[in-house]
């Protein structure tokens, strides 16, 4: 079954239980495929980054295969305010976090279609491909957002959620986890990095566990405790809060 998210934010969990950890989130307008069902839980695969996990069946709005294909072929319009809103006559008002998809959006009259309803969108939106200056501009709106494992919004996000969302809204595709993002783009040296390039970090076992935006002048913007700026050098990130290295540098990649 193909479906679309008709809710502001939905947690995708590791297991079919409310107490299970949040692995990532669906935002309004995200499409996905239901792979299997267990009681009131559905195991899904997202269309944007092929992420798999469990969501509650109550948030599912089924759509046809044709509609699913159509929505994923069209140019996407993303909300670009920290919070915006869309109001439907029957379902009422929804608050939309930045990076929500506006399905079948008509910029002439600001209408959005969801199932058999048409809603009116209020806020700013963005579409198309944008350079790294715009990526960083949007990334900086997450400044001081608290760290939340699996989060993708200003109310909580993790390191790869920060990098994925800023690039996504600007029309550049990144996968969900740091270890997968570390395989995208082109590897470069730290000394050759430009603002907006991504730096990756490993644990003692050599596994990529962290990512952030390089800013130039020996600075990095990343989500660790909250979204903030720290110094970086060839060894890794120097935590201003703890006065020690917090992450070991493994590589730098240019996405665009």
Residues 73 and 165 in one domain: no
CATH number for the domain that contains residue 13 = 2.30.30.40
Residues 102 and 143 in one domain: no
Angle between the N-to-C axes of helices 132-139 and 159-169, in degrees from 0 to 180, rounded to the nearest 10 = 130
Residues 206 and 246 in one domain: yes
**Mean predicted confidence (pLDDT) in 80-101:** 97
Q: Which of residues 93, 126, 159 is at a domain's end?
A: 126
Render pLDDT for 152-196 as a digit per residue (tens, 0 to 9): 999 999 999 999 999 999 999 999 999 999 999 999 999 999 999
In total, how many domains does the chain have? 2
Residues 110 and 150 in one domain: no
- Cα 22 to chain centroid distance, Å, stands at 14
Residues 43 and 85 in one domain: yes
The confidence score (pLDDT) of residue 75 equals 86
Q: Which of residues 68, 91, 126 is at a domain's end?
A: 126
Give this prediction's pTM: 0.97
CATH number for the domain that contains residue 176 = 3.90.1720.10
Owning domain of residue 90: 2-126
**Mean predicted confidence (pLDDT) in 202-209:** 96
| pLDDT at residue 60 tops 90 | no
3-state secondary structure of 256: coil
Q: Which of residues 126, 146, 173 is at a domain's end?
A: 126
Residues 181 and 239 in one domain: yes
Residues 164 and 244 in one domain: yes
**Mean predicted confidence (pLDDT) in 111-121:** 96
Residues 21 and 116 in one domain: yes
| pLDDT at residue 247 tops 90 | yes
CA-based nearest residue to 107, from 89, 128, 83: 128
Q: Where are the beta strands (DSSP E) in 6-139?
A: 9-13, 22-27, 31-38, 41-46, 52-56, 60-63, 78-79, 83-88, 92-97, 111-114, 117-122, 125-126
Residues 189 and 240 in one domain: yes
């Amino acid at each position: 079954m193909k479906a679309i998210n008709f809710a502001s934010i939905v947690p995708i969990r590791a297991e079919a239980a409310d107490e299970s950890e949040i692995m990532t989130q669906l935002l309004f307008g995200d499409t996905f495929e239901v792979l299997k069902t267990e009681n009131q839980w559905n195991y899904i695969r997202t269309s944007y980054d092929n992420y798999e996990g469990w969501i509650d069946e109550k948030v599912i709005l089924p759509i046809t295969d044709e509609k699913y294909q159509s929505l994923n072929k069209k140019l996407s319009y993303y909300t670009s305010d920290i919070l915006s809103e869309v109001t439907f006559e029957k379902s009422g008002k929804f608050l939309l976090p930045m990076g929500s998809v506006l399905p079948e959006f008509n910029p002439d009259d600001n209408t959005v279609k969801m199932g058999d309803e048409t809603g009116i969108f209020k806020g700013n939106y963005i579409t198309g491909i944008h350079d790294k200056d715009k990526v960083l501009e949007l990334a900086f709106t997450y400044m001081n957002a608290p760290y939340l494992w699996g989060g993708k919004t200003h109310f909580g996000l993790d390191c790869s959620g920060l990098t994925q969302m800023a690039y996504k809204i600007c029309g550049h595709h990144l996968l969900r986890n740091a270890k997968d993002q570390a395989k995208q783009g082109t590897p470069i040296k730290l000394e050759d990095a430009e603002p907006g390039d991504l730096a990756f970090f490993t644990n003692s076992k050599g596994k990529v566990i962290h990512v952030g935006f390089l800013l130039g002048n020996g600075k990095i913007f990343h989500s660790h405790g909250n979204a903030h700026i720290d110094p970086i050098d060839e060894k890794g990130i120097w935590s201003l809060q703890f006065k020690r290295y917090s992450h070991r540098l493994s590589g730098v990649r240019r996405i665009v």
